[in-house]
């Protein structure tokens, strides 16, 4: 879920996408907004940073991470072109820096 509660995100490993849904605030019903290619293979997991501006997808089969910008108004994902090679990532977590 996006920190605003307005959008839900689901990874699809079969065709390497992240589905973006708008959440109707009154009913809770979902409406598909986007099926975004992940740039990574087998998006095992992803994380949304606490600010709600960024999503990082972990590619288990491609051994990399990809960064996406999140549009605050629509929830849509845009690849930033930033990737990082990591050995078979399966989980993305954001931790506070102290």
Encode pLDDT of 7-41 as tens digits.
999 999 889 999 999 999 999 999 999 999 999 99
Question: Nearest-CA neighbor of 62 among 93, 38, 80, 34?
Answer: 38
Question: Nearest-CA neighbor of 70 among 60, 82, 80?
Answer: 80
What is the arithmetic mean of pLDDT over 65-88?
A: 96
Say if pTM beats, i.e. exceeds, 0.85. yes
Q: Give residue 29's pLDDT.
A: 97
SS (H, E, C) 40-89: CCCEEEEEECCCCCEEEEEECCCCEEEEEEECCCCCCEEEEEEEEECCCC
Q: Give residue 47's pLDDT.
A: 97
Q: Give residue 55's pLDDT.
A: 97
Bridge partners of 47, per DSSP, are 56
């Amino acid at each position: 879920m996006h920190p605003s509660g307005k959008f839900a995100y689901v990874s699809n490993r079969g065709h390497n996408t992240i589905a973006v849904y708008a959440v109707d605030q009154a009913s809770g019903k979902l409406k598909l907004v986007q099926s975004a290619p992940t740039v990574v293979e087998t998006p095992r997991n992803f994380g949304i940073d606490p600010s709600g501006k960024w999503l990082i997808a972990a590619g288990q089969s491609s051994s990399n991470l990809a960064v996406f910008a999140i549009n605050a108004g629509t929830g849509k994902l845009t690849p930033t072109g930033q990737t990082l090679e990591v050995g078979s990532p399966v989980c993305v977590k954001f931790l506070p820096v102290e």
